[in-house]
């Protein structure tokens, strides 16, 4: 028997019932396409998130209140409010003798409220920040200026608007020099930022910045910081700076060596590692869910092959009567089930890539920076898994077919 003979028989048998063949293949197509889409969109999303973190800078460290595991998220990232990190801590960190490699440090507090101009009223989020934030976050002022250092602590009622907020509040005139009220307190607009566009975490164009202590005392009524960021002079000095700030805050908070810290310090590199781990776990979880559809497709193949066995008993008996062995029967049915899954796998891969490409176009149209990525591993996994599904779920029907008795098969009506 030629190698091509089983393939020809498989093709004729499967296409004899086109609807059943189509429905069986469809189950595999959906499963493989789901895996491709999850892995491709997951890779693109991971790339987007990590690139946004990298764009902030690789030489930054963040100080957050609250303890955390070494590679776990800080308490503040989980929404737990901790009040142990204060302005005095920020002032001490800024002193060069305490952390000589930090070239810029900014404290942060966040809040929400109503901002009003003579033309518009908006519900917004605002941040209280230090002047150093422009260097830390690479902020560029398009018109006017950012805060002066003395305005951080003297409760100055000045505000810097993102490009979008400025246009929304003052659609028909320049925002610079105008007055807005934030939570019913008047503020003078001293600067408007350069337009930057949305990122994975925030949109700088919709931000409203006020001096740090103005936000704390006038707008929020708090004495603590939500977090702080520091810029290190070189990447090589990041670990040294983390050690310096840790020792400083441990001393200031009177924390003994055997006691748990009440703060967490992370570098950009550590944040990238944590984010990579989180996004990988989420991707694998979604792949596991998507794989359920492949399992359903495999069950459909088994059902179809069992029906095929019952309909071809006479054929099987005849082949056995003329010398076909069990191995020949098993291989024939395995080739048929594999043929179904390979066809379904190829179509599913193409369909998954097409849907992913369409999704990337839509996301870009929505204003996000999205890179169309289809990992080679997703294509290989999709194809290999579909092939294995064909073998695994085709094995039982194949073995059952091989056990058909020639005498009983030839008497079968």
pLDDT tens by residue, 141-193:
999 999 998 998 889 999 999 999 999 999 989 999 999 999 999 999 999 99
pLDDT tens by residue, 78-98:
566 678 899 999 999 999 999
Of 174, 180, 140, 146, whose CA–CA distance to 160 is shortest?
146
> Quick check: 266 and 61 in contact, CB under 8 A?
yes
Among 188-202, 235-249, 330-344, the range with the most confident prediction by mean pLDDT is 235-249
pLDDT tens by residue, 266-277:
887 676 677 777
- Alpha-carbon gap, residue 215 to 222, rounded angstroms: 9
What is the band of 219 on the pLDDT scale with cuts at 50, 70, 90?
very high
pTM as predicted: 0.61
- Alpha-carbon gap, residue 380 to 248, rounded angstroms: 51
Comparing 5-19, 225-239, 297-311, 391-405, the range with the smallest average pLDDT is 5-19
pLDDT at 277: 76
Averaged confidence pLDDT in the chain:
82
Which residues, including other chains, have CB under 8 Å from residue 314's CB and lie 6 or more apart?
409, 410, 412
pLDDT tens by residue, 45-54:
777 766 666 5
> Quick check: 145 and 177 in contact, CB under 8 A?
no
Q: Which helix (H) or strand (E) holds 95?
A: none
pLDDT tens by residue, 180-200:
999 999 999 999 999 876 554
pLDDT at 198: 59
């Amino acid at each position: 028997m030629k190698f091509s003979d089983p393939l020809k028989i498989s093709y004729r048998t499967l296409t004899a019932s086109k609807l059943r063949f189509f429905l069986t293949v469809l189950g595999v197509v959906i499963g493989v396409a789901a895996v491709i889409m999850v892995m491709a969109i997951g890779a693109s999303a991971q790339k987007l998130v990590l690139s946004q973190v990298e764009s902030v800078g690789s030489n930054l460290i963040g100080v957050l209140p609250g303890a955390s595991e070494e590679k776990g998220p800080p308490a503040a990232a989980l929404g737990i409010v901790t009040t142990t990190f204060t302005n005095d801590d920020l002032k001490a960190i800024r002193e060069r003798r305490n952390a000589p490699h930090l070239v810029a440090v900014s404290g942060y507090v966040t809040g929400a409220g109503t901002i009003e101009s003579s033309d518009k009223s908006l519900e917004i989020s605002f941040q209280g920040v230090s002047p150093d934030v422009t260097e830390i976050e690479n902020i560029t002022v398009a018109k006017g200026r950012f805060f002066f250092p003395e305005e951080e602590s003297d409760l100055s009622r000045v505000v810097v608007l993102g490009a979008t907020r400025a246009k929304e509040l003052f659609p028909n005139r320049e925002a610079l020099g105008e007055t807005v009220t934030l939570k019913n307190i008047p503020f003078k607009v001293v600067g408007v930022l350069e337009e930057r566009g949305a990122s994975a975490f925030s949109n700088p164009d919709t931000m409203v910045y006020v001096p740090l202590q103005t936000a704390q005392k006038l707008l929020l009524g708090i004495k603590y910081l939500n977090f702080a960021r520091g810029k290190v002079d070189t990447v090589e000095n990041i670990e040294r700076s983390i050690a310096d700030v840790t020792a400083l805050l441990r001393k200031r908070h009177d924390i003994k060596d055997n006691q748990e810290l009440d703060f967490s310090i992370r570098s950009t590199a550590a944040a990238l590692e944590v984010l990579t781990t989180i996004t990988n776990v989420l991707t694998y979880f979604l792949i596991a869910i998507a794989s359920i559809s492949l399992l359903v497709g495999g069950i459909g193949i088994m059902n179809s092959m069992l029906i095929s066995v019952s309909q071809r008993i006479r054929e099987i008996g005849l082949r056995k009567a003329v010398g076909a062995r069990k191995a020949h029967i098993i291989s024939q049915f395995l080739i048929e089930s594999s043929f179904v899954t390979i066809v379904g796998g190829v179509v599913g891969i193409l369909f998954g890539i097409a849907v992913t490409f369409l999704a990337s176009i839509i996301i870009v149209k929505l204003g996000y920076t999205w890179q169309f990525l289809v990992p080679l591993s997703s294509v290989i996994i999709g194809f290999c898994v579909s092939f294995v599904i064909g073998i695994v779920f085709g094995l039982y029907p194949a073995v059952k077919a091989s056990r058909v008795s020639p005498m009983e098969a030839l008497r079968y009506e």
